Structures are given as structure tokens and as C-alpha cells.
Amino acid sequence: MKANIIIIEDEPKAQKHLENLLELSGFGIVVDACLPSVEATVGWLKENAHPDLVFMDIHLSDGISFDIMEKTGLEAPIIFTTAYDEYAIRAFKTTGIDYLLKPLTVKEVNQALTKFFRTREKYLNDWMAKSIELKHHFQNDISINRKDRFLLKSGKELLPFHIDDIAYFFRSEIVFAKTYEGSQFSINTSLNHLQTLVDPNQFVRLNRQLLTNIGSVSKIKPGRAGQLVVELKPQYHETVIVSQERAGWLKKLLGHI
């Protein structure tokens, strides 16, 4: 059992202690990065493939770690490590799978890692089931008003676009639509809402930032630790990473036998 992880911790002694515990754990843990702040973590996640697992302190030098998820759409499971217990409820409303109070012990870290590896396959199965259920719901619920056209704002004008002209919707502070011609328009709604308006056979959610027309996928290639790197047309401004858990689903959707 192997996993690529990052450690988010602003105390050097605590960081080193956790690294030592991970070495003693007996699991195949590869530490990709140790990051000391919200700013450093956001920057790293924007430039690198997201890890399989995150060990995350809550109080950091420039804020609290929940800000990282809001700014990056981090979806990886998180094991929180902190000296405070008042954030436990909020932590488990994220992708948190465990909440360890400092000082950490080998036993606690091993138990948290065991939980991660046991639930990773279950997460995949649950996610696939939910995706199929959601797709059937959209297909069968005649009350859903799918949109074939969108009026997109350009300055003071509103321009009509057919849904087939839109390559993808993406979130960057606000939500935008990107056309195949490369034009970009802001939209005053959320990706979650847009997902209820489009055909789920045509538009798929690659991650929290992207709702993608399947026709805009130009290439997929292997990434790290079973992940996929997806290239879109027109090109997206960041590297598009599909997690290991979703890689098989996307290949099948694109026609892999």
C-alpha cells in the first residue's frame, strides 16, 4: 500500500516529528512536500498534482488551513493534526477522515493511515455509485430544465451561445464559460447549479474547478500514483489532474475498453 502525501505544518519540530512517525509506520508513504503556510500550500497545489492524502495542521502562520480548500478546491482526504479540539466538527465537514491531537504518537498515525487505506477503495465504489445515481436522476427527472443555449455577457452586450459551442465552465474566484473559439465569459452562478442545467452525458465534473464538455478532452496521459493528466481544447490555464479514484471512470467514459 502506497500513497503520495503532503504535510502542512508551520512548526519545524512538529513537521520533523510527523515525518519520523511516517517512516516508522510501515506504510509506503512518499512525502512530496512539507509546506509551512496557507500561501505556500496554495501555490504548491496550483503547480503540482494533488496528493493522495494530506496531513494538515489547522493553525498556520498566515491563517487557518480551511482557507486552503476554499482557494484550491482540494479534494484529497485529510488527516488533521492540531493542538486544538474546537475545530473537529468543521474538519469533518470537509474531506477530513481523522483528527489527531498533538503530540502525535506512532499508534495514532498508524490507525489514521489504516483508516485511509481501508476507505480509499470504498470511497471509489461510493463515488461511482453516486455518479450513476445522479446521472439516472438527471435523465429521468422531467422537471429538470436543461439548457441548450446560454446568454453570455460581453461588456454591455449579451451574446447567445449554443451549449455545443462551450468547451467548459470553470471556477476562478467566480465562474466562467470558455468557448471552443477561446472566448471567455463570466457567469453569475455556481458550477453546482450549472451541472443541473446541462446534459450529464455531455458535461462531466473533472474536479471542483471544472465542468467540462466531454468533447473538449483532447488527450489524457498517466500522472503520478495512478492519477491522470487531462489536456483540454482550448487549453486550460492550469494542469488538470484527475484523481486515481476517478481515473478509471474517466477512461471508461471516453470509450476505454
Tell me the average pLDDT of the chain.
84
Whether residue 185 has pLDDT greater than 80: yes
Residue that has been written with the C-alpha cell 476505454 in this structure: 256
What confidence tens digit (pLDDT) does each residue in 8-62 have?
Answer: 999 999 999 999 999 998 888 999 999 999 999 999 988 888 888 999 999 898 8
CA nearest neighbour of 253 among 203, 181, 209: 203
The pLDDT score that the predictor gives to residue 20 is 94
Instruction: Report whether pLDDT(86) > 90.
Output: no
Residue 119: is its pLDDT beyond 60?
A: yes
Range name among 1-15, 57-71, 86-100 with the lowest pLDDT average: 86-100
Of residues 68 and 72, more confidently modeled:
68
Instruction: Give the model's pLDDT for residue 257.
Output: 56
Question: Average pLDDT for residues 111-135, to the nearest whole number?
Answer: 65
- Going by CATH, does the domain composed of 149-253 fall within 3.40.50.1970? no
pTM of the full predicted structure? Answer: 0.53
Tell me how far apart the terminal alpha carbons of the chain are, to the nearest angstrom: 26
> What is the C-alpha to C-alpha distance for residues 6 and 53, in angstroms, rounded to an integer?
7
Q: 14 with 61: CB under 8 angstroms? A: no
- Looking at residue 132, its pLDDT comes to 46
Tell me which H or E stretch contains 121.
Answer: helix 106-140
Q: What is the mean pLDDT of residues 206-211?
A: 86
CATH topology for 2-124 is Rossmann fold (3.40.50)
Residues 6 or more apart whose CB falls under 8 angstroms from that of 40 comprise none
Q: pLDDT tens for residues 134-168?
A: 455 445 543 445 788 999 988 888 999 999 999 99
pLDDT grade, residue 224 (50/70/90)?
confident
pLDDT of residue 19: 95
d(CA 92, CA 94): 5
Cα separation, 169 vs 194, in Å, equals 8
User: Domain coordinates of the chain in residue numbers?
Assistant: 2-124, 149-253
Predicted pLDDT at 179: 96
The C-alpha cell at 21 is: 512517525
Q: 77-91, 124-138, 224-238: lowest mean pLDDT where?
A: 124-138
The percentage of residues in the chain with a pLDDT greater than 90, rounded to a whole number, is 42
